[in-house]
Amino acid sequence: MNNDPSIEKLFSLEEVDYTRFWGQNDHLLEFVKLLFPKLKIIVRGEMLKAIGSANDITWFEGKLQAMMTYYEKFGRLTENAIMGIMENGVTPEAEVSSDVLVHGRNGLLVKARTPNQQRLVQSVFENDMVFAIGPAGTGKTYTAVALAVRALKNKEVRRIILTRPAVEAGENLGFLPGDLRDKLDPYLQPLYDALRDMIPQQKLLSYWEDNTIEIAPLAFMRGRTLDNAFVILDEAQNATSAQLKMFLTRMGRNAKFIITGDLTQVDLPRHQQSGLLQATMLLREVKGIDVIEMDHSDVIRHRLVTDIIRAYDNAPQLQD
Residue 174, pLDDT score: 52
Whether 112 and 211 share a structural domain: yes
Whether 62 and 105 share a structural domain: no
If we measure between CA atoms, which residue out of 209, 257, 248, 207 comes closest to residue 229?
A: 257
Inter-residue contact 316 to 173 (CB < 8 Å): no
The parent domain of residue 16 ranges over 7-95
Inter-residue contact 306 to 134 (CB < 8 Å): no
**Partners of 109 in the beta sheet?**
103
> Which amino acid, one-letter code, is at 282?
L
In a domain, 279, yes or no: yes
Say whether pLDDT at 308 is over 70. yes
Residue 152, pLDDT score: 92
Inter-residue contact 33 to 40 (CB < 8 Å): no
- The residue length of the chain stands at 320
Residue 91, pLDDT score: 52
Among 45-54, 153-162, 261-270, the range scoring the smallest mean pLDDT is: 261-270
If we measure between CA atoms, which residue out of 57, 44, 71, 45 comes closest to residue 7?
A: 57
Give the span between the Cα atoms of 60 and 35, in whole angstroms: 10
In a domain, 13, yes or no: yes
In a domain, 16, yes or no: yes
Give the span between the Cα atoms of 22 and 144, in whole angstroms: 30
Mean pLDDT, the chain, whole residue set: 83
Residue 147, pLDDT score: 94
Say whether pLDDT at 42 is over 70. yes
Average pLDDT over residues 1-23: 79
Last residue of a domain, one of 95, 121, 145: 95
Whether 107 and 192 share a structural domain: yes
Give the span between the Cα atoms of 40 and 45, in whole angstroms: 16
pLDDT confidence band for 6 (50 / 70 / 90)? confident
If we measure between CA atoms, which residue out of 298, 302, 290 comes closest to residue 113?
A: 298
Residue 170, pLDDT score: 40
Residues 6+ apart with CB under 8 A from 91: 70, 81, 84, 85
Whether 156 and 294 share a structural domain: yes
In a domain, 205, yes or no: yes
Q: Report the number of distinct structural domains present in the chain.
A: 2
Whether 144 and 203 share a structural domain: yes
Whether 57 and 109 share a structural domain: no
Residues 6+ apart with CB under 8 A from 94: none
Identify the helix (H) or strand (E) that includes residue 111: strand 109-111
Residues 6+ apart with CB under 8 A from 39: 33, 50, 51, 52, 56, 57, 60
Whether 108 and 90 share a structural domain: no
Among 144-148, 175-179, 230-234, 305-309, the range scoring the smallest mean pLDDT is: 175-179
Dihedral sign of CA atoms 275, 276, 282, 286 in order: positive
Whether 204 and 110 share a structural domain: yes
Among 93-97, 162-166, 295-299, the range scoring the smallest mean pLDDT is: 93-97
CA distances from 50 to 40, 41, 42, 191 (A): 6, 5, 6, 38
Residue 131, pLDDT score: 96
Inter-residue contact 298 to 261 (CB < 8 Å): no
Inter-residue contact 163 to 247 (CB < 8 Å): yes
Inter-residue contact 213 to 207 (CB < 8 Å): yes
Whether 87 and 151 share a structural domain: no
Residue 57, pLDDT score: 92
Average pLDDT over residues 118-146: 91
pTM: 0.68
Last residue of a domain, one of 64, 95, 126: 95
Last residue of a domain, one of 95, 124, 152: 95
pLDDT confidence band for 172 (50 / 70 / 90)? very low
pLDDT tens track for 55-108: 999 999 989 988 888 887 777 788 888 888 887 665 544 444 457 777 776 667
Among 128-142, 186-200, 206-220, the range scoring the smallest mean pLDDT is: 186-200
Residue 319, pLDDT score: 52
Phi, psi of 182 (to 5 degrees): -60, -40
